[in-house]
Structure 1
Amino acid sequence: MTSEMAGPEERLLRRLALPGLWLLIINGMIGAGIFGLPGELARLAGPGSVWIFMLCALMIAPIMLCFMQMASYFRGTGGPILYAASAFGPMAGFQVGWLYYVSRVLSFAANLNLLLTSLGYFWAGAMDPSVRVALAFLICSLMILNNVLGARNAIGTLGLLTAFKFLPLIAMVAIGLIQVDIGTLLPRLDHTVGIEDLGGALFLVIYAYVGFEGGLVPAGEARNPQRDLPRALLLGLVVCALLYALIQAVALVSLPSLATSSRPLVDVAAAQMGDVGALMMLIAIIASVGGNLLGAMFSTPRLTYRMALDGFLPAALGRVHPRFHTPARSIILYGAACFAFAVSGGFVWLAGLSVFARIILYMVCVGAMPRLHRQFGTVAGAMQVAGRRVWMVLALLVCAALLWQVTLQSVLVTGGCVVAGLLMLAFSRRVEHRANPQAASG
């Protein structure tokens, strides 16, 4: 039995190795959140906040283990789309892909505005409305061009941004470990945290570990996705957990006023290295948001590419550029949609959709595990996770806990997006039928 979905042959080149896949996953997980989390966490949990990062890593681990096993079954582009479609049928795959795509557009738009605001620290003129629109257009255009020109260009740029993000963080941790007594960095077991504060801290931190699923989408461009994607997921989780915990520990010691800081890591770097440290951390924030955006620009267009190959979207979105071997039309569509939402300002009330859509995606994919194991459990290279059913139950429990944060508005908006997706599908198939009635009827 093969783990590939039936359908048109993919024409994307397999150039991504383990480092490239890890870059996509780590930039999906580490965005702007970690630069603001330490202060609020210190307020909620004090010295115990270091343990919160480790606990949340354990909470997200069952979900990631499920995705590791599913990633080992498939070699094609699509990630969650393939998992849902193989287990529950093509329509389930389309709806998962559509919801995830919409949430990624909104998330990109929000992060793009955050990037523009961060640029305002260096250039006050960036806050002017007309300049913001021009900068948004320029950034989207450059990211579109970088991705259209080929996977190597995009991954190379992503690696550079990741270095600019990691180096200041690693420097801050290293200086903190040198300047203070190691014993003071160890979390205090005698510090108690109230149940309400603990719950708030857990819900706050666990979202610093999500976003990894975007790195699964371009499996069709990986040299050995069944082997490398599970490894990249595990490596991403370990790096995030260690880095987050060390950052929180050093921040607690280096900045006594951490709980009241509005720019915690910038203030920590300033306390350690003065204005140079603050500047380095501001650059790290810009690089982190930029890396998150570039990773999304790489992965998300592969969703419409996959849905076009499966016949759910116009065939033009599934075409590959003859020279650069990238889904150029899908990339341009995604970039244009992100720019439109970023400059409209009307996307703010839809922010909850991104969270709810991600939880739905996790629950559908985790629920698909038993069927996928029956179909592909013997595929060559498939990962065998011990205690598979236990991990699945734990993953679903974590997802159920996350649902407590979902508002009624998010549920209604998500329902509206599902309906919109069905209408778009009907329109797309009608257009395709008119363009090619013989193929449509066949």
Structure 2
Amino acid sequence: MSGLRKSLGGAVGTFLALSTILGSGMMILPGTSYQELGRSAWLPWAVAAVSVVPLLYCYAWLGRRHPSAAGVAHYSEVAFGRSAGRSAGLLAVLALVAGIPATAVTGGRYAARFSGLPSLTWLFPVAVLVVATVIGCLGTSVSGKVQVGLVLGLFALVTCIALVALGAHGVRAPSTALPPAGKLGGVLTAVYVAFTGWETVAFTFEEHKRPDAIPRIFAASYVIVVALYGLVLLGLFSAVDPGDKALGEAPLLRLAERSLGDLGRPVTLALVVAAIAANVCASVLALSRLVYGMARDGYLPGPLARIRDRDGNPVTSVLAAGAVLTLIALLGSTGVMSFRLLFVLSGGIYFVLYGLGAASYAKLAGPGAPVAVAVLCAATVIAVTVLAGPSMWACWALLAAVWAVTAVLARRPAPAEPERETADR
């Protein structure tokens, strides 16, 4: 048997998407935005939710018509050539290699804070990455079932906490007061991170039984994500004061304590473990597929494209990805590597990949309505780039540098083979 097995159905694919999208952003961003803007905090979330729709449409369109384990690397290659494909793929690998350990380390910090065991700061991220690697080695079907269980548990906990808070403290309507533009822009840039992840889901598209269901998977996961963040924000508006210092560190803990009393701490710990574990498991699977796809296309060493005959699982790429991620998580959790740098690098590159996906869509979809969608995507990407400042500019500069190097290397002539000696010599 050759190639990845098409084993993902629509329901499991939706849960896999949710696992990839819901991660460390849910642990912090609702609290920090509320702390900054009070009950006007819904505004940046609404702007981000609406403006990201055209970008998701582009990726849904590309995934349906060009399902590939290489995701944006494949789309970019089809649209703009091998140099673009290699550049996009390498940046995608870098984003995931930075972002997945950062998410795991965030879980470790929460676990250490809630349990009072400082060793969990590094032990939790290492453990969750090892478990995610083992699950990835068992195959997509097993990983998908794990995602379903974890995400269902996450939904139950978040919904319970938010509804109890609303019932106990009453609903406080969001404010329509507009905050200062500079303050709103800064929060908006951070909030956009909560709506990244769909480009990562694209690395699993090759394993979908029905690529035509991909747009529905995107739509369903989008609606659920928006509803979940809306519930969390309404719960915070109702039960927590915007001046509470805990909002910047553990907003869900504070919300759970105000809703459930003494049960708040253990419930929050369970919520954090479910969210982080689901995100890491799904992301490790996605990264292994990207590595496999790039190796198959000749962008990474060939042995990484090996698959297990009995189930079509690229175990070599899973193990390689897991080993690298575990090492980086260990370095990040112990302070050897900058934890903040991992998040900044990952978040910035995600939006570069959004831009590349939108550009690929514009090139492949042709004239007409796709042009309008591409213009909306360009407006979103440019706005985020301007608001984010130097950190985002550096990510675009990194793309330009990688693309230039790969283009130069592609033009270099292959070394001439030495002339063979003839029998007459």
Instruction: Give the shorter-chain TM-score range.
Output: 0.7 to 0.9
- Pair 1:96-2:78 in alignment: no
- Residue equivalent to 1:39: 31
The answer as to whether partners of 1:162 and 1:288 remain within 8 angstroms in 2 is: yes
- Residue equivalent to 1:381: none
- Pair 1:238-2:227 in alignment: no
State the Cα distance separating 1:118 from its structure 2 match: 2.4
Amino acid paired to 2:379: L
Amino acid paired to 1:194: P
**Whole-angstrom CA distance in 2 between matches of 1:116 and 1:370:** 41
Task: Please point out which of 317, 323, 329 is paired with 1:342.
Answer: 329
- Residue equivalent to 2:422: none
State the Cα distance separating 1:136 from its structure 2 match: 4.6
- Residue equivalent to 1:372: 364
Task: Please point out which of 378, 384, 391 is paired with 1:402.
Answer: 384
**Whole-angstrom CA distance in 2 between matches of 1:417 and 1:24:** 33
**Whole-angstrom CA distance in 2 between matches of 1:358 and 1:167:** 29
Q: Give 1:291-370 correspondences, 5 Å limit.
A: 291-344=278-331, 345-348=336-339, 349=341, 351-370=343-362
Q: Deviations over 1:401-427 (max 9, x none)?
A: 11121426834983698289859x99x
- Residue equivalent to 1:109: 101
- Pair 1:256-2:241 in alignment: yes
Q: Which structure 2 residue ranges, 5 or more long, are not aligned?
A: 418-425
State the Cα distance separating 1:276 from its structure 2 match: 0.6
State the Cα distance separating 1:234 from its structure 2 match: 1.2
The answer as to whether partners of 1:352 and 1:407 remain within 8 angstroms in 2 is: no
**Whole-angstrom CA distance in 2 between matches of 1:254 and 1:368:** 45
- Pair 1:179-2:163 in alignment: no
- Residue equivalent to 1:27: 19
Task: Please point out which of 148, 154, 164 is paired with 2:137.
Answer: 148
Q: 1:277 to 1:135 in 2, by over 3 A?
A: closer
The answer as to whether partners of 2:114 and 2:265 remain within 8 angstroms in 1 is: no
- Pair 1:194-2:197 in alignment: no
Amino acid paired to 1:334: A
- Residue equivalent to 1:170: 159
The answer as to whether partners of 1:41 and 1:259 remain within 8 angstroms in 2 is: no
Range that drifts further, 18-27 or 300-309: 18-27
Amino acid paired to 1:161: L
SS at match of 2:194: coil
* RMSD across aligned positions (CA): 2.9
**Whole-angstrom CA distance in 2 between matches of 1:373 and 1:100:** 23
**Whole-angstrom CA distance in 1 between matches of 2:399 and 2:219:** 33
- Pair 1:391-2:373 in alignment: yes
TM-score by length of 2: 0.86
Runs of 4+ in structure 1 deviating by more than 6 angstroms, as ranges, are none
**Whole-angstrom CA distance in 2 between matches of 1:124 and 1:177:** 29
The answer as to whether partners of 1:341 and 1:347 remain within 8 angstroms in 2 is: no
- Paired positions, count: 404
SS at match of 2:195: coil
SS at match of 1:116: helix
SS at match of 1:15: coil
- Residue equivalent to 2:69: 77
Q: Which structure 1 residue ranges, 5 or more long, are not aligned?
A: 1-8, 378-385, 435-442
**Whole-angstrom CA distance in 2 between matches of 1:280 and 1:39:** 18
**Whole-angstrom CA distance in 2 between matches of 1:332 and 1:283:** 27
- Residue equivalent to 1:288: 275
**Whole-angstrom CA distance in 1 between matches of 2:38 and 2:122:** 40
**Whole-angstrom CA distance in 1 between matches of 2:48 and 2:69:** 29
- Pair 1:62-2:54 in alignment: yes
Q: Deviations over 1:9-35 (max 9, x none)?
A: 952111101122212221222112222
Amino acid paired to 2:56: M
**Whole-angstrom CA distance in 2 between matches of 1:355 and 1:141:** 24
**Whole-angstrom CA distance in 1 between matches of 2:145 and 2:159:** 21
The answer as to whether partners of 2:87 and 2:402 remain within 8 angstroms in 1 is: yes
Q: 1:337 to 1:416 in 2, by over 3 A?
A: farther
Range that drifts further, 142-151 or 402-411: 402-411
SS at match of 2:52: helix
The answer as to whether partners of 2:151 and 2:278 remain within 8 angstroms in 1 is: yes
State the Cα distance separating 1:132 from its structure 2 match: 5.8
Q: Deviations over 1:87-106 (max 9, x none)?
A: 01122111101111111011
The answer as to whether partners of 1:18 and 1:232 remain within 8 angstroms in 2 is: yes
Amino acid paired to 1:141: V
State the Cα distance separating 1:393 from its structure 2 match: 0.5
- Residue equivalent to 1:418: 402
Q: Deviations over 1:383-439 (max 9, x none)?
A: xxx93322211111111111121426834983698289859x99xxx9xx99xxxxx
**Whole-angstrom CA distance in 2 between matches of 1:232 and 1:247:** 23
TM-score by length of 1: 0.83
Q: 1:206 to 1:136 in 2, by over 3 A?
A: closer
Amino acid paired to 1:388: P
State the Cα distance separating 1:180 from its structure 2 match: 4.3
Q: Deviations over 1:42-62 (max 9, x none)?
A: 233222222332221001111
SS at match of 1:274: helix
**Whole-angstrom CA distance in 1 between matches of 2:105 and 2:227:** 29
State the Cα distance separating 1:350 from its structure 2 match: 5.0
